[in-house]
Structure 1
Amino acid sequence: MADRGASALSLPDDWPAHPDPILALNRMGSFDWDLDTGLYHMDARAHEIFDVLPEEYDGRPESLAPRFPEAEAVRLDTLVAQAIKDGSENYGAYFRIRRRDGSLCWTHTQGYIRRDETGRPRRIIGIVRDAAEELRDLADRGDEAALDDARREQTNVVQLTTAALAHARTVRDVIDVLKDIHGLTHLGATSLVMGLVEAGRIRLVAEGPAGSFVPGTLVTRIDEPYPMSEVVRTLSPRFIESPEEFAAGYPVLWPYITDLNITSAAYLPLIVQARPIGAMGLLYSDRHGFTPEERNILVALGSSIAQSLQRAMFYEQEKDIAQGLQQAMLPRTIPSVPGADIAVRYRAATIGGSLGRDIGGDWYDLIPLPGGTPSGGGRVGAVIGDVQGHDTHAAAVMGQLRIVLRAYAAEGHPPSTVMARASVFLHELDTDRFATCLYAQADLSTGVVQVVRAGHIDPLVRAPDGTCRRIPVTGGLPLGLSAEFGTLDYPVTTLELDPGHTLLLCTDGLVEQPGADLDDGMKTLTSLIAHGPDDVRGLADRLIDIAEERAGDDDVALLLLRRRGPDTLRPGGRLQQHVAPGDPEALTGARHMIRAAVRTWGLWDRADEIELAADELITNALMHTEGAAIVTLRVLGDTDRRLRVEVEDSSSALPRRREAGESGVSGRGLLLVELLTDEWGVEARGGGKCVWSEFRVPGG
């Protein structure tokens, strides 16, 4: 073993690792090799296996050189170096060591390579055990070929399973690896069960193959007479070597599995840091009993599976925390804007599969601004930005920057002032991070859009015919840097957004690809937008799906704003009306639109029903939410045609039926809608919802 580092470097806080009790119970030693310092820690059992006294060992791997025959040392060093070089997560090997008396003894090791987020190997944690007895049994029988096959098979079983588990990032991934028919074949089992410890109980999370589920075992107490409960209580494996032993030991469970023709079983506790996190059972129909080497293999596999499960559980917990923090920093809802269709999307980055890194500083925001007219269109500020870094600090800075930028914009400042003040704020914040940002202030009644850019990528505009172009915007320095260098000049670029045109703002995670130029990335994105769906929500979904497929190491924020054109009344078309709270003229206008559309589209027989149901949905949206309502009418289908009425609001609260009472004047709205319509329902729409109802068109 070669020296891999200098002892002057600092050791990890959790070094050395503490072996699980299950290893000691099965006479396995453990080691923790810090590749930065070169220190190689062994527990007491490992000292025994290498026949080295603690006072003789200085913690360095080269001090074990006298215990390795030269050929074995070269072979083992080559194996470890190759595993480190090719990115493997683990390695395993049988090798011989020379004891004090000069005799050679067979030993087996299994090492797990830990890497940092860049993929650099930092540490190897593993086990060593005396393999002399298991190999001697075969040698005594004179079967050298079987001896070699056994060595290879035992190593392959561990390597195949752990190699598959190396790619498992979630608990479901671990379960899928073990439930897969090839996984069961590697383990040599006919059936598998697995449970996780939760609040003093064991919850079944995997059972296979199909049809092997035992009623009443979905959730069991740890004190119940089941084998998984027993191994969790005792922290020791349970090997059942015959059907008779199974029936006698677990009479409650045995009647339910007799049809599986089980001849033996192995139940293993899944232990991490001296704490049981679950248990696994492997049931066999083609073997009776377990040899010592088979038991050792299963124990080693149990330890590997437990480590994979803990890693997956940590990953899911960290991902939930990261996503929760990210969502808390992003806007909870996007306001409805008169005269515009809006779609926003966010995708978190995953850097090298590292825990806690599914978070970043990208953000979007949509800010209602003073001015504008409900009938012609509102004034709105659209923001897209990216704080440097991919960690919780970047997310925290992003949240603060988003709030102050929103406040400056809502006060009515011009775009250049909004950007300059945000830069000063970030510079005065106690952080070394900077941010890129693009702010577009749009007057939807005229289509005039004023854009300022702080080190961010340019916006794009898509026309109704699908053509897409990049809008060059003169930019200033990123936020924070411009204040530091005293260059707070952010030139304003003005463009006109015609009815039906879509403004697209995004962060560089949607554009940049490894090894590709930024301009080439923009050309690719322009082509994707040109050939994407016409609907802004569909287009946003398509772009974010492409980002998911690329699985890039940067998060992505996306904002699409389409300026609506004047609606025309035509059969088969789509009508839309914005109804602001406290605006009786807008409500009256929506009723006139519904009445005219119903008569124009030839639904005379159901006109009263449609008008009454639509009026109920609009009134409910205005009464029970704090924002405006958007009313949309459209005809669906070619042969089985239907008129669909949609009322969209910015509240995520679902409508519910209420008892009106004998003298009550409200509470009958949903009952009335249900009676009048052929179908109705609720759909989530971004931060709000859409309540819809459909009416069949007479005569198709």
Structure 2
Amino acid sequence: MDQASEERRRLLAKVGDDLWGIELLRFAIQQAVADLAGLGGMVHLGGPGHGTGLRLAVTSGLPPAFTHAWERIDGNGPLAPARAFRDAVFVQVSMANAVVGIPQQRASGRPDGSAAEPWSWPVGTTMVAVPLPGPGGPIGALSVVTVSAHEPSPAQLAFLDTLGRWTGEHLSKSSAPPSGSGLIGWQEQSIAPHLRRDLQAVGTWDWDIRTGDVIWNDAMLAVLGVDPDTFDGRIETWTGIVHPEDLPWVLADIDEAIRAGRMHSTEYRVCRPDGTSGWVRARGRLVVDDNGEPARMVGTMWDITKTHDDLDAVTEPGPSSAERAAVERASRIKQLTRALAEAVTVRDVVDASADHILPAFGAAGLMLTFLESDHLRPVGFTGYSQEFVDRASRIPASGKYPIAESLRDRTPMFINSAEEYIERYPTTADLPAAGGKKAWAFLPLIASGRPVGSCVVSFSEPRRFTGEECNLLTALSGLVAQAMERARLYDREHTRSQELQRGLLPRGLPCLPAITAAARYLPAGKDMEVGGDWYDVISLSADRVAIVIGDVMGHGVAEAITMARLRTAVRTLADLELPPDELLSHLNDLVSELGDDFYATCLYLVYDPTTRSCVLARAGHPPPAVVHPDGTVHFPDADPNAPLGAATPPFETVEIDLPEGSLLVLYTDGLVESPALDIDQGIAHLAKTLSGTTLTGTPCRHQNHAAASDSTRLRCTVCLESLCDRLTAALLPGRQGTADDAALLVVRTHALPNDDMASWPLPDHPRAAGQAREHVRAQLSAWDLDDLSMTTELLASELVGNVVRHAKGPIHLRLLRSNVLTCEVSDGSLTTPRIRRAADTDEGGRGLQLVSAISHRWGTRYTPGGKCIWTEQPLDPACPAFLTDQCDLDMYDLLNE
């Protein structure tokens, strides 16, 4: 062990200044853990002048479930890192006591919100901690979790002490301005003692270039004056603190450091949120991924305001005329930075660039292009005609165009006049006149080290670009490039989300005899992902209709996929003719199998036009609104049960009677609930909006609505579309920025006329088949459907014969006429018939094969007294059976064009 410690001590001596920030701390942890044969380690940072709190900077080898509770600890508390930092001594405590002072963490994802179990360690596990010394006292503490209950050996203690001092020394070195920083030698010597005396704790930062996320320690927050409770961990927050006059060249240096793979080192001014300002020095090292592409930048930052104050006292510089002239431009650049940080879509980026870049430079035109394959495609422009943009719609990236050359070379190109353009690019000499511009700045857009497009800033008069303007435009192109890349990713994902949402919802609602329906889906605000709200209308046997609406809790692709699975499951279960309570029980099992993170609400109802009744069940979903023909509104009083995934079957069902022309209004909670409105108030608002909605009072955009008959107006889809618009306008004024999506489904019910129904009881005797044929023949003759008589007689005879042979009475025969002819035979048996393949020598077993062959559709459903076997045959699709007179036919065609 002594030899191992000595080897690691020699390793520390060989490590130079290549390690910075978090990489340096991670290296120190790994050496400490290896020397003690520990399980893992942590580094907490703090510092004089930054309060008594310690913030977790980096971990290694320890599970996140454990380290989450150690992210911020009290510097005056009993924990090992706090004691080592506070007393500047080695500390060792048992892990049985290590969590004293750590508040219990809530278990993430638990629906009951219960507290997590305390973390358990093997008996004898301890935590050791050593301070990280700095010029003015400890700047942090390094701690290791080890399974040994014994104190480290003298050699190990010596190595830990050396490692702590080495780490603190290297962190402190990063706080001293390096040679070549631009300070004059005698000035640097004169102020160095003041700098060392007033230097505050070193800030460390870790920036993920691809996502824009940054990690700061407490010292970094203090240097920039950011409240840790409000820090959002975004690079835009950092750049927003940089002084507007310094921001362009700071961003240009960062961009160049990423391109060249060199160290980023610069000084600049900051404008802190509390109104104070100061100077800081930042140094950062680029970290690449396995493919050599830029991935992160890690580094340090420290306050050098005192240094600049001393320099100002010596030189007494005064404001130059150039600085005064640039105040207005700096203000516009600051506004541009803020606008680009807030831009979400490509259109937002184009508008922000046009609104702030053009006035700042007196430009007349701007065009942004994306690099797609080997072409540049314009995605936004201002100051150009559409004809000119169409002509430049696909510019070859390899062609001899200034916009393409600047991107290939990754170098801005400035052309001062049309004559210069024609001289340099004679093959496209007609473009200046076609675009109406006489000077151009062609700026390549480079994001994360790779080209993404180009920006063209053009002027209506010749212009001699100054060095300051060239530098500023180059720096601004980096801002625009980052914003464009984020916006393109957003637009792409947003388009995919919309396509996914449209693909998962019904493309259109079916036109059925029993109902007329209209629906709306309203997504949440533009910063939200695809939602989980859904609805469907499903045709069942005997003209019955299943109507369903649901909401998967949460937003995102996972929730949308869950919604699609539920919608598919509902259609499959509905085809089995399951009652609402049984169907919800199966859905509950499906959602439960998905895991504890998935929950959904659902309302499922079945409307029977032959009885004008509706049976519904719901799982955590708001109740439907029922509007009677006289305009009264009520909500069925039914137990909502718990949401799917948390419910305990059986589900309660409610049966309600619906007079002809009643309205069913189904909706998700996003329609009636918001942060400013609870769900009960929203439902009351919905009832008030629906109150008085009658057949004649329903608003309709169709000009012939008032002249149509009542039967036609009942089936007017335009009326329901207008009602949907009225409800969404009243309940969701100003949809922008809402936190939840919403679905709305409005259904008007229609009863099947008594003249279109006929039923007869049949004896449980072989002669029942003959009687069934006689009833069918007579009824179809009365309905003028003699063409279907032979087929229907055969179907009825076969079904009745099967009941007599294999089931039991009582037997009933029923015929229904709508857009199809339905033939039903019911009996008192629960045995479900199934088609089987009959062998050549079998005398029976071919009856259902015959039924399947000559009917359009057939199936079985259970009834309270047994089961019902049904068949369907289509009638003339050009003439729906529920329309009778020529006036109704004309209006039907007109309203449904």
TM range (shorter): 0.5 to 0.7
CA pair 150-216 structure 1, distance change in 2 beyond 3 A: same
Residue in 2 that maps onto 1:269: 444
Q: Does residue 539 in structure 1 map to residue 713 in structure 2? A: no
Q: Does residue 438 in structure 1 map to residue 609 in structure 2? A: no
Can you give the 5+ residue segments of structure 1 that lack an aligned partner in the other structure? 12-39, 53-59, 66-72, 97-104, 112-122, 129-139, 373-377, 568-576, 599-630, 635-643, 648-689, 693-700
Residue in 1 that maps onto 2:536: 365
Residue in 2 that maps onto 1:320: 495
1:495-506 alignment runs, 5 A limit: 495-506=656-667
CA distance, structure 1, for counterparts of residue 225 and residue 469 of structure 2: 27
CA distance, structure 1, for counterparts of residue 246 and residue 222 of structure 2: 9
CA distance, structure 2, for counterparts of residue 466 and residue 49 of structure 1: 84
Partner deviation per Cα, 1:363-395 (whole Å, 9 max, x = no partner): 21222222x2xxxxx211111111222122222
Query: Cα distance, 1:200 vs. partner?
Result: 0.5
CA distance, structure 1, for counterparts of residue 337 and residue 745 of structure 2: 42
The one-letter code sitting in structure 1 at the alignment partner of 2:333 is V
Query: Cα distance, 1:63 vs. partner?
Result: 2.9
Contact in 1 for aligned 2:674/2:739 (Cα 8 Å): no
The one-letter code sitting in structure 1 at the alignment partner of 2:58 is A
Alpha-carbon RMSD: 4.4
CA distance, structure 2, for counterparts of residue 85 and residue 279 of structure 1: 30
CA distance, structure 2, for counterparts of residue 448 and residue 564 of structure 1: 11
For the residue of structure 1 that corresponds to 2:674, the secondary structure is: coil
1:78-89 alignment runs, 5 A limit: 78=225
CA distance, structure 1, for counterparts of residue 686 and residue 585 of structure 2: 29
Partner deviation per Cα, 1:6-26 (whole Å, 9 max, x = no partner): 313699xxxxxxxxxxxxxxx
Contact in 2 for aligned 1:323/1:358 (Cα 8 Å): no
Partner deviation per Cα, 1:162-204 (whole Å, 9 max, x = no partner): 3233343222232233345x65213531122222212201122
Query: Cα distance, 1:506 vs. partner?
Result: 0.9
Identity among equivalent pairs (%): 29
Larger Rg: 2
CA pair 64-384 structure 1, distance change in 2 beyond 3 A: closer
* Counterpart among 64, 77, 83 of residue 224 in structure 2: 77
Contact in 1 for aligned 2:818/2:882 (Cα 8 Å): no
CA distance, structure 1, for counterparts of residue 370 and residue 487 of structure 2: 13
CA distance, structure 2, for counterparts of residue 348 and residue 231 of structure 1: 41
CA distance, structure 2, for counterparts of residue 411 and residue 502 of structure 1: 27
Residue in 2 that maps onto 1:193: 367
For the residue of structure 2 that corresponds to 1:304, the secondary structure is: helix
Query: Cα distance, 1:430 vs. partner?
Result: 4.3
* Counterpart among 648, 668, 678 of residue 507 in structure 1: 668
CA pair 447-268 structure 1, distance change in 2 beyond 3 A: same
Partner deviation per Cα, 1:291-328 (whole Å, 9 max, x = no partner): 23222221121111111111111111111222333334
Contact in 2 for aligned 1:109/1:126 (Cα 8 Å): no
CA distance, structure 1, for counterparts of residue 745 and residue 684 of structure 2: 18
CA distance, structure 1, for counterparts of residue 430 and residue 487 of structure 2: 34
Query: Cα distance, 1:247 vs. partner?
Result: 2.7
Query: Cα distance, 1:331 vs. partner?
Result: 3.6
CA distance, structure 2, for counterparts of residue 529 and residue 186 of structure 1: 53
The one-letter code sitting in structure 2 at the alignment partner of 1:490 is F
Residue in 2 that maps onto 1:639: none
Query: Cα distance, 1:446 vs. partner?
Result: 2.7
Q: Does residue 549 in structure 1 map to residue 768 in structure 2? A: no
Partner deviation per Cα, 1:259-307 (whole Å, 9 max, x = no partner): 8775532110111122222111111245632223222221121111111
Can you give the 5+ residue segments of structure 2 that lack an aligned partner in the other structure? 1-46, 62-170, 184-198, 205-219, 248-265, 273-295, 302-314, 701-718, 754-816, 822-855, 857-872
CA distance, structure 1, for counterparts of residue 538 and residue 675 of structure 2: 34
For the residue of structure 2 that corresponds to 1:554, the secondary structure is: coil
CA pair 204-125 structure 1, distance change in 2 beyond 3 A: farther
The one-letter code sitting in structure 1 at the alignment partner of 2:742 is V
Q: Does residue 8 in structure 1 map to residue 58 in structure 2? A: yes
1:360-439 alignment runs, 5 A limit: 360-370=531-541, 372=542, 378-430=543-595, 432-439=597-604
Contact in 1 for aligned 2:340/2:480 (Cα 8 Å): yes
Contact in 2 for aligned 1:95/1:106 (Cα 8 Å): no
Query: Cα distance, 1:228 vs. partner?
Result: 0.9
CA distance, structure 2, for counterparts of residue 312 and residue 400 of structure 1: 31
Residue in 2 that maps onto 1:246: 421
1:207-226 alignment runs, 5 A limit: 207-211=381-385, 214=388, 216-226=391-401
Query: Cα distance, 1:418 vs. partner?
Result: 1.4
The one-letter code sitting in structure 2 at the alignment partner of 1:7 is A
The one-letter code sitting in structure 2 at the alignment partner of 1:399 is A
Residue in 2 that maps onto 1:340: 515
Q: Does residue 489 in structure 1 map to residue 650 in structure 2? A: yes
Contact in 2 for aligned 1:161/1:186 (Cα 8 Å): no
CA distance, structure 2, for counterparts of residue 82 and residue 498 of structure 1: 58
CA distance, structure 1, for counterparts of residue 179 and residue 271 of structure 2: 17
The one-letter code sitting in structure 2 at the alignment partner of 1:492 is T
Query: Cα distance, 1:80 vs. partner?
Result: 9.5
CA distance, structure 2, for counterparts of residue 297 and residue 418 of structure 1: 65
CA pair 193-585 structure 1, distance change in 2 beyond 3 A: closer
Q: Which has the higher contact order (CA 8 A, sep 6+)?
A: 1
Residue in 1 that maps onto 2:283: none
For the residue of structure 2 that corresponds to 1:481, the secondary structure is: coil
Partner deviation per Cα, 1:80-120 (whole Å, 9 max, x = no partner): 99996999755231579xxxxxxxx9746899xxxxxxxxx
CA distance, structure 1, for counterparts of residue 424 and residue 318 of structure 2: 36
The one-letter code sitting in structure 2 at the alignment partner of 1:433 is F
Contact in 1 for aligned 2:573/2:583 (Cα 8 Å): yes
CA pair 186-8 structure 1, distance change in 2 beyond 3 A: same
Contact in 2 for aligned 1:416/1:491 (Cα 8 Å): yes
Contact in 2 for aligned 1:109/1:127 (Cα 8 Å): no
Query: Cα distance, 1:411 vs. partner?
Result: 1.2
1:671-686 alignment runs, 5 A limit: none
Contact in 2 for aligned 1:419/1:454 (Cα 8 Å): yes
Contact in 1 for aligned 2:609/2:751 (Cα 8 Å): no
CA pair 95-585 structure 1, distance change in 2 beyond 3 A: closer
The one-letter code sitting in structure 2 at the alignment partner of 1:282 is V
For the residue of structure 1 that corresponds to 2:457, the secondary structure is: strand
For the residue of structure 1 that corresponds to 2:614, the secondary structure is: strand
CA distance, structure 2, for counterparts of residue 48 and residue 212 of structure 1: 55
Taking structure 2 as the reference length, the TM-score comes to 0.50
CA pair 405-589 structure 1, distance change in 2 beyond 3 A: closer
CA distance, structure 2, for counterparts of residue 298 and residue 278 of structure 1: 15
CA pair 230-422 structure 1, distance change in 2 beyond 3 A: same
CA distance, structure 2, for counterparts of residue 565 and residue 331 of structure 1: 25
Contact in 2 for aligned 1:179/1:209 (Cα 8 Å): no
CA distance, structure 2, for counterparts of residue 336 and residue 566 of structure 1: 15
Contact in 2 for aligned 1:415/1:439 (Cα 8 Å): yes
For the residue of structure 2 that corresponds to 1:8, the secondary structure is: strand
Query: Cα distance, 1:449 vs. partner?
Result: 0.8
For the residue of structure 2 that corresponds to 1:452, the secondary structure is: strand
CA distance, structure 2, for counterparts of residue 436 and residue 329 of structure 1: 17
Query: Cα distance, 1:562 vs. partner?
Result: 0.6
CA distance, structure 2, for counterparts of residue 74 and residue 362 of structure 1: 41
For the residue of structure 2 that corresponds to 1:232, the secondary structure is: helix
Residue in 1 that maps onto 2:83: none
CA pair 432-164 structure 1, distance change in 2 beyond 3 A: closer
CA pair 226-580 structure 1, distance change in 2 beyond 3 A: farther
Contact in 1 for aligned 2:537/2:548 (Cα 8 Å): yes
CA distance, structure 2, for counterparts of residue 307 and residue 110 of structure 1: 22
Query: Cα distance, 1:464 vs. partner?
Result: 4.3
Contact in 1 for aligned 2:569/2:587 (Cα 8 Å): yes
Contact in 1 for aligned 2:620/2:642 (Cα 8 Å): yes
For the residue of structure 1 that corresponds to 2:398, the secondary structure is: coil
Residue in 1 that maps onto 2:324: 149
CA distance, structure 1, for counterparts of residue 398 and residue 457 of structure 2: 21
Residue in 1 that maps onto 2:684: 523
